[in-house]
Amino acid sequence: MTELDTPDLSRSYCPLCEPDADPTKEILQVKGCAIHPISLDGLDDQGARFQGECIGGQGEAGGMDNMLMCRLVHHRGA
């Protein structure tokens, strides 16, 4: 670790194995265990996934997509 790296002060925990773990007393990183793996196939997980569409366009920072979006956001007309 270099002096610029921030040490990880959290500890992994499984919410089903440790239901009484207190996130106000320690930094907890939710991880599943071998018995209780974390699933990313729930209804909320499907809605939160990135679908590859970006409102700001996918061109370069100074490209036409960005200029048009900037004009729209700042109400300067296209």
pLDDT, tens digit, for every residue of 20-76? 999 999 999 988 888 988 877 777 766 665 545 455 445 455 556 666 777 777 765
Is the residue at 78 inside a domain? no
pLDDT at 46: 67
Please list, in sequence order, all residues whose beta carbon lies within 8 angstroms of the beta carbon of residue 3, skipping any fewer than 6 positions away. none
Rounded to the nearest 10°, the torsion over CA 22, 28, 34, 38 is 100
Going from the C-alpha of 17 to that of each of 28, 33, 34, the distances in angstroms are 13, 8, 11
Is the residue at 25 inside a domain? yes
User: What token pair was written down for 29?
Assistant: 């990183």
Is the residue at 46 inside a domain? no
- The 10 Å Cβ neighbour count of residue 56 is 11
| Assessment of whether the complete model's pTM goes beyond 0.85 | no
d(Cα 15, Cα 13) in Å, to the nearest integer? 6
More confident residue, 7 or 77: 7
Q: What is the number of domains present in the chain?
A: 1
